[in-house]
């Protein structure tokens, strides 16, 4: 793994907990000494400041640096490109397969977009395979990302939209949960009670829709008693433009993903 930050750790923690890899078989390249110590102590992985140590014997390389750091890592990848041809899994938002393949022309490359619920095995990862990716490479990528949740495959042309929805989505939902709890506090609930209610309401709604395979509108209709509380709340949400706000959030994030790719 190159880049042991938030998302790298989220994936690492599950891969070790689910025993997909022996901790000692994982080497993480990470420039921050403090992060290296944390990752090595907490998960038993090898952590190094030298990316060549990561790349020298790797079968799978998981690229988890910020897109803005790709240029720095490209030099390491180019240097390693002549030894072997490991599977490269890139989770970098917005970086197209063509950019990665230009750096390591002989390596199979899969662009992946996971999300932070991966930390608890409830992630959503979408994969887009590059040229030269064989079925066994895809199977390996699926095995890795299935450890952290659901996996779906799409053509690369959809990956920026995926990034704007499921990649960034946990941020939007977290704000919704925080705001719901604030609403509960404004209506007189203690903070801890309000947060528990908001969290379980969001989880329960998602679980109900998944279990029953209902259209979301059907659930909305079932909650809204005529002249009741829910329709009064929904009228307020519509007036504030909640649908438009969420649609534009996904569209703007997708555009930002395109922009990161240059």
Ligand X SMILES: NC(=O)C1=CN([C@@H]2O[C@H](COP(=O)(O)OP(=O)(O)OC[C@H]3O[C@@H](n4cnc5c(N)ncnc54)[C@H](OP(=O)(O)O)[C@@H]3O)[C@@H](O)[C@H]2O)C=CC1
Ligand Y SMILES: O=C(O)[C@@H]1CCC=N1
Footprint (CB under 6 A) of ligand Y, residues 76-135? 93
- Establish whether 47 is an annotated binding residue: no
Question: Does an H or E element contain 54, and which?
Answer: helix 51-55
Measured N-to-C along each axis, helices 191-212 and 169-186 cross at an angle, to the nearest 10 degrees, of 130
Q: Mask 215-244, x = binds ligand X (CB under 6 A)?
A: ------------------------------
Name the closest residue to ligand X (Cβ): 5
In the complex, minimum distance from the CB of residue 114 to ligand Y, in angstroms, rounded to a whole number: 9
Residue closest to 194 by CA, chosen among 182, 212, 210, 208: 182
Q: Exposed/middle/buried for 258, CB within 10 Å: 0-12, 13-18, 19+? A: middle
56: helix, strand or coil: coil
CB of 260 to ligand X, least distance (A): 8
Q: Give min distance, CB of 257 to ligand X, in A.
A: 8
Out of ligand X, ligand Y, none, which partner does residue 123 contact, by CB within 5 to 8 A per kind?
A: none
163 binds ligand Y (CB under 6 A): yes
DSSP string computed for 167-213: ITHHHHHHHHHHHHHHHHHHTT--HHHHHHHHHHHHHHHHHHHHHHT
176 assigned binding-site residue: no
How near is the Cβ of 7 to ligand X at its closest, in Å? 3
Whether residue 138 contacts residue 110, with contact meaning beta carbons closer than 8 Å, is answered with yes
Annotated binding-site residues for NADP(+) read 2-7, 64-67
Annotated binding-site residues for NADPH read 51
Instruction: Note the residues at the interface with ligand Y (CB under 6 A).
Output: 93, 163, 167-168
Annotated binding-site residues read 2-7, 51, 64-67
């Amino acid at each position: 793994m190159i880049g042991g930050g938030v998302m790298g750790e989220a994936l690492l923690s599950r891969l070790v907990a689910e025993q997909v890899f022996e901790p000692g078989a994982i080497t993480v390249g990470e420039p921050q000494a403090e992060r290296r110590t944390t990752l090595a102590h907490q998960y038993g992985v090898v952590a190094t400041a030298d990316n060549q140590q990561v790349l020298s014997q790797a079968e799978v390389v998981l690229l988890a640096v910020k897109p803005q750091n790709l240029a720095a890592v490209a030099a390491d990848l180019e240097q390693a490109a002549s030894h072997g041809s490991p599977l490269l899994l890139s989770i970098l938002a917005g970086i197209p397969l063509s950019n990665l393949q230009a750096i390591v022309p002989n390596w199979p490359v899969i662009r992946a977009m996971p999300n932070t619920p991966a930390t608890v095995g409830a992630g959503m990862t979408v994969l887009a395979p590059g040229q030269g990716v064989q079925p066994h490479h895809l199977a390996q990528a699926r095995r890795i990302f299935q450890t952290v949740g659901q996996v779906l495959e799409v053509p690369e042309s959809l990956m920026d939209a995926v990034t704007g929805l499921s990649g960034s989505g946990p941020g939007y939902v977290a704000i919704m949960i925080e705001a719901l709890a604030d609403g509960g506090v404004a209506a007189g609930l203690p903070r801890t009670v309000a947060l528990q209610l908001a969290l379980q309401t969001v989880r329960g709604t998602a679980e109900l829709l998944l279990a029953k395979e209902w259209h979301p509108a059907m659930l909305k209709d079932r909650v809204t008693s005529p002249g009741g509380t829910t329709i009064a709340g929904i009228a307020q949400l519509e007036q504030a433009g909640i649908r438009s706000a969420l649609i534009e959030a996904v569209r703007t994030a997708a555009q930002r993903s395109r922009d990161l790719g240059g």
